[in-house]
Structure 1
Amino acid sequence: MTAPELPTSLYTSEQVKQLDALAIEQANIAGIVLMKRAGRAAFELLLEQWPQVESVVVLCGAGNNGGDGYVIAALAAQKKLNVHAVAIADPAGLSGDALKAYNYAQQEGVTVIAGSELNTVQIDASTVIVDSLFGTGLSREVEGDYSRAIAWANNSAAPVLGVDLPSGLCGNTGKVWGDAIKCAATITFIGVKRGLLTGRGPAFTGDVYFDDLGVPASIYDAIKPEVTRTSRLALMPSLPEREADAHKGQFGYVLVVGGDVGMGGAAAMAGEAAARTGAGLTGIATQPIHVAPILARCPELMVIGVASGQAIEPVLAKPTVVVLGPGLGRDSWSEQMLQQATLTDLPLVMDADALNLLAEGRVVRKTQRDNWVLTPHPGEAARLLDCSVAEIQADRFAAARAIQTKYGGVVVLKGAGTIIAGADQLVVANVGNPGMATGGMGDVLSGVIGALIAQGLTLFEAAQLGVCAHGDAADLAVQEAGVRGVMATDLIPFIRELLN
């Protein structure tokens, strides 16, 4: 089953705790009522996802997330399922609503065993594991009995339902605290935690579901999220309709600059993607050796051989937007192309080696500008910030914001849960799939974004819509032929279809 569309607003774990407290204080919803609603929503999802379930193993921690687990165990017992609640934290230490939930499970006859007995639990084809170890409060490496419980769950053959978020995953950033439970599905409550959708989050959540637990809409007015979720359908109205008397001059001229010797394919892919996305005219300025092969592949492209910075100067007088970097390389020719393009006032889409040369600080005179889109993958982002890839991935939100602050414009931090940062906006696009882990995907994306800018979208709109159309196209490509062997050019027909 495909997970339903998630809300737009994304929250930190601390903000969700505030919303929870406001629901209790201002909307007069008792904490145990919210807990029972969460347990009910999770248990209903469990039955929906695994209708053949006969046995449920609930891993329960010490806090309210453990309380959710005891509620789920109680509901499973009411349903006459074979249920074990595994108390990884000693129930004697429970208090408040979590203790009430534990007593509820006891009342329903749930078998509660200690975490030390976990290896005695039998798993079969009808078993589902429920992960209620940690909620949103985890802020350190997982260790001890919790680490052993996570390893047990991950080594079992049973599917896991994550309650609120997979235990071991940071709800704020999507980093993993040493280890995390790999869930087949996750249901999150009150507010969608932003770490579920980026970083390592997508590798551990499975499909993500949401339930607001009946919290009134007015409660949400008190907490403003710093991050929102973007989608193709929400952005499509920004792409103008075409009048019956339209002509190509109305839809801009995209010039792709790149394709050093041996890398002409990257420039060709970016150019073809720009043309298929709807640019009125698309040109490629590349090494002369690539002119004939690119024209043979796609005669609609205007391919210009430029052997030096002096040769490209007149070419740069005509475009609406320049896509700079696909196959650019890092030699003297590459530097001349980059230098001349960045001397113009044209909007720029910067990708690949354009970003690497920018990070080196040797060619680009003005390293901060408002009218460019930078599209780094984590390795390029690390070079732009002079840090490690691990530091980028540990907090992708902070990394995207830092790049935008340092260089200006719009930043597209690619990867699982792509993040788009504008001057005062931060959005996540939870699109795409592992089939995109192949060469050329970034070249296609840069061409798409360039063409959307040429058609009149703002840089921030173009970056968002480009990322979403690109990722959604990859999903269609995978549906058609599977996740392995997807090529970047496979996406182009689907991108055209989705943008129409």
Structure 2
Amino acid sequence: MQKLPITLYRTAQVRELDRIAIQDRGISGFELMSRAGYEVFQCFRNKWPNTRSVAVFCGTGNNAGDGYIVAKLALEAGLKVSVYALANPENSKGDALTAYQNYSEAKGVIIPFQGDELIDEDVIVDALLGTGLDRPVTGLYAVAVQVINQAPAHVVAVDSPSGLNADTGNVLGCAVKANCTVTFIALKQGLFTGQAADYCGEISYASLAVPISVLQEVAASAVRVVKMPLPRRDRCSHKGHYGHVLVVGGDLGYSGAARLAGEAALRVGAGLVSIATRIEHAGLMNLGRPELMCHGVENAKQLVGLLEKASVIVIGPGLGQSDWAKELFTATIKAQKLLIIDADGLNLLARLPVKNSDWILTPHPGEAARLLSCSTAEIQQDRFASVSAIQAKYDGIAILKGAGTLIASENDCAVSTTGNPGMASGGMGDVLAGVIAGLLAQGLSLKNAAQQGVYHHGLAADLAAEKDGERGLLASDLMPYLRRIV
């Protein structure tokens, strides 16, 4: 699989990079278009070498121009090519018009799209809309998207699947579901979060030979998280060197959440882990994992000694929202220790918002909505904006979980693409909170612990799913893989 760049950009930024390449570096627009078409052609030839026929769906503008380049290359390679045009190509302008004329002069077939065509070609090239879309797909374009998605062919999207917002990863009404997306010049941030995972397929990157110096002229909007090696341990080190994590949670009936967080912290290398929980659970919680030090705590006064000993605190897993939970929560956030707030800890925080530069918040979209007093749909509308808003309101590091989990600090945003649908089961968030706490306890910064915690957590799930499949994956299944990864 291709190694992708780390930096991500918004579509407006990529347009600026395109302008710099053309105006300041002297690369003609048609040359960039020709290179883009060639990359798409090579992509499907390499992925599906037995391809004999190609259907290219063209809209207007430069995305359609890329499509006409692909069509001409396929024609020259001896493939059967059909171009379905949703607009009169004679009305195209600039480089797109030139690309159309070149295809037409090569005696290429152009079929005005009516909406009732039966598509039986081997490969479909989606060159309908590209990255410039900012409103819902309607009319004949929506019909074309439906036709493409219903066809049995392999689908390759040009720059971005039509109908997908390349800034947010949100579907605008409807979108093409591609097997592969070839994106140009720079990676678009929306291809890596939100609904994009269900529409982009495998993402392939083509720089179009634009010099790296061009990309350096525009600051990236986000970065992809990559695995960072953890520091080697001294031979003479001991448990005291690797931090003491305290997990506060596990109200009646919810002991498993705190137990999962505690073991996860141990599995990634924390020196010590204590759990403050209900008295009813304390004597039972560590039966299967005796390394956990479990304490029955019924009020804030009984929690004080544990808070003092801890170097990192996780509050929220199985905490609930009872009077007991509220009392422990209030005492914990006043402790002036490094904090990870998860689950019901976030729900309690939403009721009385305060700022703290020394905590990491780990909401899923529903919890994020409560933190920002809005709807879950509004959170998902622009996940990048949402996670940045949480960070601005509460300070510290904010994580927005989901496909393409986002991690925001005061000055930047990162996206992690590890993980799979098998993680849609209870307890996964508790494990993540424990992983982050364990890394933080070992000396990683808040930002690095959050980014690497999310990455390692998803990678462990990927390795577990690779062995036994996604469906039926349990949070506790991640434990041996977490240990292997670190």
- TM interval, shorter chain, is over 0.9
RMSD: 1.1
Q: 2:129 aligns with which of 127, 130, 134?
A: 134
Q: CA deviation at 1:49?
A: 1.2
Hey, what's the Cα distance between the residues in 2 that align with 1:437 and 1:159? 28
- Note the 1:55-204 alignment, pairs <5 A: 55-116=53-114, 118-123=115-120, 127-204=122-199
The answer to whether the 8 A contact 1:63-1:135 is kept is no
* 3-state SS of paired residue (1:313): helix
Q: CA deviation at 1:212?
A: 0.5
Letter in 2 for 1:173: T
Tell me which residue corresponds to 1:388: 375
Letter in 2 for 1:258: G
The answer to whether the 8 A contact 2:192-2:417 is kept is yes
The answer to whether the 8 A contact 2:119-2:151 is kept is no
Hey, what's the Cα distance between the residues in 2 that align with 1:308 and 1:144? 62
Aligned residues: 486
Hey, what's the Cα distance between the residues in 1 that align with 2:316 and 2:478? 20
**Deviation per CA, 1:218-277, whole angstroms, max 9, x where unpaired?**
111211112111112xx22xx321011011100000011100000000000000000001
Tell me which residue corresponds to 1:209: 204
Q: CA deviation at 1:8?
A: 1.1
**Deviation per CA, 1:87-132, whole angstroms, max 9, x where unpaired?**
012112111100111112112222110011x5334416xx111100
Hey, what's the Cα distance between the residues in 1 that align with 2:289 and 2:119? 60
Hey, what's the Cα distance between the residues in 1 that align with 2:223 and 2:286? 42
Hey, what's the Cα distance between the residues in 1 that align with 2:456 and 2:12? 32
- Note the 1:218-297 alignment, pairs <5 A: 218-232=213-227, 235-236=228-229, 239-297=230-288
* 3-state SS of paired residue (2:284): helix
Q: 1:324 aligns with which of 315, 326, 329?
A: 315
Q: CA deviation at 1:209?
A: 0.8
Tell me which residue corresponds to 2:33: 35
Hey, what's the Cα distance between the residues in 1 that align with 2:85 and 2:207? 27
Hey, what's the Cα distance between the residues in 2 that align with 1:89 and 1:320? 63
Unaligned runs of 5+ in 1: none
* 3-state SS of paired residue (1:200): helix
* 3-state SS of paired residue (1:71): helix
The answer to whether the 8 A contact 1:131-1:162 is kept is yes
- Note the 1:264-413 alignment, pairs <5 A: 264-361=255-352, 367-413=354-400
- Report percent identity of matched pairs: 47
Give the stretch that moved more between structures: 316-325 or 490-499. Answer: 490-499
The answer to whether the 8 A contact 1:131-1:161 is kept is yes
Q: CA deviation at 1:496?
A: 1.3
**Deviation per CA, 1:320-375, whole angstroms, max 9, x where unpaired?**
100110000111111111011111010100000000011112xxxx7101000000
**Deviation per CA, 1:287-338, whole angstroms, max 9, x where unpaired?**
1111233211100110111122222122211001001100001111111110
1:442 maps to 2:411: no
Hey, what's the Cα distance between the residues in 2 that align with 1:473 and 1:250? 25
The answer to whether the 8 A contact 2:165-2:171 is kept is yes
Q: 1:19 aligns with which of 17, 20, 27?
A: 17
Letter in 1 for 2:251: D
**Deviation per CA, 1:452-490, whole angstroms, max 9, x where unpaired?**
110000100000000000111111111111111111111
The answer to whether the 8 A contact 2:130-2:160 is kept is yes
Hey, what's the Cα distance between the residues in 2 that align with 1:80 and 1:151? 28
Hey, what's the Cα distance between the residues in 1 that align with 2:185 and 2:387? 26
Calculate the TM-score normalised by the size of structure 2: 0.98
* 3-state SS of paired residue (2:37): helix
* 3-state SS of paired residue (2:285): helix
The answer to whether the 8 A contact 1:417-1:431 is kept is yes
1:472 maps to 2:459: yes
**Deviation per CA, 1:106-159, whole angstroms, max 9, x where unpaired?**
12222110011x5334416xx111100012211111111111000111112222
Hey, what's the Cα distance between the residues in 1 that align with 2:461 and 2:159? 28
Hey, what's the Cα distance between the residues in 1 that align with 2:88 and 2:410? 48
Letter in 1 for 2:398: V
Hey, what's the Cα distance between the residues in 2 that align with 1:383 and 1:8? 31
The answer to whether the 8 A contact 2:82-2:111 is kept is yes
Hey, what's the Cα distance between the residues in 2 that align with 1:473 and 1:47? 33
* 3-state SS of paired residue (2:5): coil
Hey, what's the Cα distance between the residues in 2 that align with 1:315 and 1:28? 65
The answer to whether the 8 A contact 2:189-2:221 is kept is no
Hey, what's the Cα distance between the residues in 1 that align with 2:476 and 2:360? 22
* 3-state SS of paired residue (2:123): strand
The answer to whether the 8 A contact 2:275-2:294 is kept is yes
The answer to whether the 8 A contact 1:73-1:105 is kept is yes
